[in-house]
Structures are given as C-alpha cells and as structure tokens.
Structure 1
Amino acid sequence: MGKQYNLWSFYLILICLGLAAYSLYSNINNTWLIAPPNYVLLIVSLLAFALGIIGFKDKRNWWAKTRSWLTVILSSLTFIGLLLALAFTTFFSSLGVNEHLKTVSSPDGHYTIDFYRYDAGAAGSFGIRGELNGPLWFKKRIYYQDRVEQVKVKWESNDNVSINNHILKLDEGDTYGYQ
C-alpha cells in the first residue's frame, strides 16, 4: 500500500508543479489561464506532502526512498512558493480597488466579458481591465487601458466587440493593452 502512496504523491506533485509553472507563464504572457486558483494548488501540494510522508513506508529499493524524499522536498518548496505567491497577491490586491463594473455577453451568448475598474491609489495608476470568461475557472485578459474610468461596449457581431472604440476580434484572439 505504501508503494501506491509513494507513486501517487510523486505524480501529484509533478502535476502541481506543471500547473503552477503554467499559471505563472499565462499571467506573464496573458494567455488562457487554465490552471486552478493558487489556493487549490496549495491544497494539492499539501496532499502530495502528506502522501509523500506516508510513502516512506515503501522501503523496497533505493528508487522508492529517493522518490519519497524528492516528493517531500518538492512539495515543501512548492507549498512555500505558493504560500508566498498568495501572500504577495493578497497584499498587493488589497492596496488598490478592483471594482466590478459590468458583465457583457455576445449576442449569441458564446462570449462573456467581465470589466473591472482598478485603482492602485498612490502606488500606481487607474484604469479598466476586461477578462474573457471560459469554462470552469478559465479566464483570459483581453482589455487593459490606463487612465479611463468608464467602459463603453458595443458588439459589432457575435465575435467582434468594440470596447471604448477599440475593436477586438475574439475569434482571432485579439487583445488590447497587453504586449
């Protein structure tokens, strides 16, 4: 039974690391965020740590012992990294205001965009941010404009939207304000 805990904990932490790395990549490059929220990854890394500790019962060979140690070390480092990321985002998101302005849907209901007004106060700028909603928790940032307080949205067609006179072709993956 210890062998199964050992293997599952190892696979679980590898999946958790992969999702955390993709989450970081998607936030930097503004691609689709398909990884679950960081607090879910934090719980998964704790589960991998617990299973890794239980996996120490498997003492059949050196690879099983090494895998257990590797799992415990990786899950500990992942947990600490995710905890720091959560603390960082919680602290800096509390500095400014993120106010939900409105949610708009395409005429056929295929696309839904949430618009937020952000204001970092003395720490930064203010403006509008738009996020395209996907299935489950998937999101993609598609619109970002500094020093604007209102958002005017008009759907040109089922796939084309005009946001503050900037036309985005959502079926082609257009964004505005993101590099």
Structure 2
Amino acid sequence: MRKLSWSALFLVLFLYFISMYSLYSHMNNKWLVIPPNDVILILSILGLTLAILGFKDKSNKSTKVRSWVSTVLSVVLIFILLGALSFTSIFSGSKQLITTTHSPDKNYTISFYKTDAGAMGSFGVIGELKGPLWFKRVFYYERKTDQVDLEWINNHTISINDQKVDLLNGETVHRSP
C-alpha cells in the first residue's frame, strides 16, 4: 500500500507536466507529442484512484500527506481537463479534411483541413504535419480561404497557395488576406 501513495503522486505530477507541455505546444505550434486530453483525463482518474487507495496505508504520517496531496492535485487536474474538454467541444467549430498529401520520398505526411468557427470567428485552412503515433504539428494557417493549391518543390519543400514552406527547417506560416 505504501507504494500506491508514491505511484499516485508521481503519476499526478507527470500528468501536470505533460498537460503544461500540451498547453505550451498548442500556443507555440510545436510538435504535439502527448496523448489527447481524454487519455490524460482517464490517467488522472487512475491517479485519483491510486491516491484514495493509498489512504489504507497508515504506517506513518508522510504516506497520509502524500495521499492527500495526490488526491487534491488529481481532483484539480480532473476539473481542469473536464473544463478544457467541454470548452473545446463547444467552441472549436468544425474541421473538415480537404486533402492529404505525401512528400515525394514519403517522409512527410500532411493533411489540410477547412476550419469554420461559425459565429465565433473566421474560416480558413490549416495544414497539419503528421508524425508517428498521434504526434502532429500545425505548420500552416490561412484565414478566409477554403481551398489549397499544393505542389511539392522537393522532398521537404512544398508550395501552398503560392507560399513556400520548408518542412526541414520547421517553418510555420500564418497568412491573412
């Protein structure tokens, strides 16, 4: 039982770390390498369960403190994630796949989506660079357009609506007409 309080604490602290990295990567268009928010929510519920089970160990005061800290942190994280999931599901707008393209050497896979925020904002096109597993990165965003003209220039450079993007350098393009 003593290991449950340590496991819960480390799991909850790890989930806080990856949640903060998720926020950072969304804000700075970096590679999103963590699982989706619903997976983190399930893991935080697991952390809460481990923290509650850690209360059964009454060997010393530190295990009780660890269980309380883990319980409070996991409950706060659960509420934050529930709020984030409900907010994004209500206000994210629609996202429809336009096309998916591969580089000539098949090293890059890019999907382009038409986005429409409805009354909350504008419409446009985003380009997501796919990585392994669920990894992805938004590298292209253009407002007030609903189509993309693509042409691969070489294995790592693509021309999108007459804008050249070098994927090897990790460029991010935001265009507004």
TM-score, structure 2 normalization: 0.96
Report what 2:119 is aligned to.
122
**Percent identity over the alignment?**
46
Report what 2:24 is aligned to.
25
SS of 1:107's equivalent?
coil
SS of 1:161's equivalent?
strand
Separation of aligned partners in 2, 1:3 and 1:165: 61
Report what 2:87 is aligned to.
88
Select between 115-124 and 137-146 the one with higher mean Cα deviation. 115-124
Separation of aligned partners in 2, 1:70 and 1:80: 16
Report what 1:46 is aligned to.
45
Report what 2:149 is aligned to.
152
Report what 1:5 is aligned to.
4
- CA-to-aligned-CA distance 1:112-159 (integer Å, 9 cap, x gap): 011000112222111100000011111100000001111011111111
4+ long deviations beyond 6 Å: none
1:163 alignment partner AA = I
Report what 1:61 is aligned to.
60
SS of 2:173's equivalent?
coil
Gapped regions of structure 2 (runs ≥ 5): none
Separation of aligned partners in 2, 1:134 and 1:105: 12
The answer to whether the 8 Å contact 2:91/2:120 transfers is no
Q: How many residues align?
A: 175
SS of 2:174's equivalent?
coil
Which of 103, 115, 136 matches 2:133? Answer: 136
- How far apart are 1:57 and its partner, in Å? 1.5
